[in-house]
Structure 1
Amino acid sequence: MKRLLLIRHAKATHDTDYKDFDRPLKKSGIKDSEIMADHLKTKSYIPQIIFSSPSVRTKKTADIFAEHLSVTKIQTDKAIYEASDATLLDIINEFPDQYYFIALVGHNPAISQMLYHLTGQIKDVPPCAIAVIDFEFDEWKLISGGTGKLVLYDEV
């Protein structure tokens, strides 16, 4: 079985002094990330590794989740930034099979589109929303549309 945790990055500033890639989290985004990470911890949903977009807001969100969940492995992938749902699926299909539970921190609209594509569940997916999806496969490459079961969805 494989388990995927989708995380949309937390609330970021819209200050025009920053390029989109460099936008930092707001204080409320930092707090929301801590709350959601602690929520996952109380439910014992602890990924083995986190894959994240390298943008400032997603990387900081990933760092907060990693700290609160004691996850020591974070990898960034430039393809997650501005990814389509098809690109995200390609990334998921390439995840290393040695991990059964992986978190992916990314951006909308791809995160909400991926949630729908994998589970058929339509969700708004606001900043810092989380979705845990289970798959009845032993290989990430077998994951495709409609093969996942949403086991947890929550938002701040």
Structure 2
Amino acid sequence: MKTLYLVRHAKSSWDNPLLDDFFRPLNERGKRDAPNMGKRLKEKRVVLDLLLTSTAVRAISTAKEIAKVLNCDDHKIKTLPELYHASPEKILDVLKQVNDKVNVVMLVGHNPGLTELIDALTELAIDNVPTCGIAAFKLNIKSWRELEMKKETLLFYDYPKKS
């Protein structure tokens, strides 16, 4: 069994319209939401073996804020440029390359690919995963190479404004 946490980056700033999308930082809400979602994960006793993140500034910032709350060491965080606006197929390809000794993975990425992958893995019809939204799955696989876009066991789906 493997466990997968798919996380959309926290809310980013649009204050500088000339700033390239890749370099947009978190806004104040994003800076608040990321550690708060980390606290919700900590309450669920989440312990990560590996944290994969897009190299976009807002994704790395989200990953680091959540990792800090979960006491996840920096050496467990891996930045991957191919996750920047990745398709669901690309995200799946990245996950299939994870070492099988790793059992619990968090991946921080972007829409629309992230929402599309979550929709493929669950019965929920999610129109749009909100910023800093998290979908957690229990995967009935022994090897990450077995991961497919099919319905999996959803452990929970949470986001900052969910009561």
TM-score range (shorter-chain normalised) is: over 0.9
Cα offset for 1:147? 4.3
Could you state the TM-score of these two structures normalised by the residue count of structure 2?
0.92
| Equivalent position of 1:151 in the other structure | 155
Shift of 1:17: 3.0
Instruction: Indicate the residue corresponding to 1:116 in structure 2.
Output: 119
- The verdict on how the C-alpha distance between 1:120 and 1:146 changes in structure 2, with shifts beyond 3 A counting, is farther
Give the drift of 1:18.
1.2
User: Is 1:137 the equivalent of 2:138?
Assistant: no
1:51 equivalenced with 2:52 (yes/no): yes
Q: Write the letter of the residue equivalent to 1:55.
A: A
CA RMSD of aligned residues (A): 1.0
- Cross-structure match for 1:95: 98
Matched length: 156
SS at match of 1:4: strand
Where in structure 1 are there 5+ consecutive unaligned residues? none
Does residue 21 (structure 1) correspond to residue 25 (structure 2)? The answer is no
1: CA distance between counterparts of 2:5 and 2:48? 7
Aligned-partner SS, 1:116: helix
Shift of 1:92: 1.0
**SS at structure 1 position matched to 2:4:** strand
Question: CA offset at residue 120 of structure 1?
Answer: 3.4
Aligned 1:23-102 pairs, distance under 5 A: 23-72=24-73, 73-102=76-105
SS in 2 for 1:108: coil
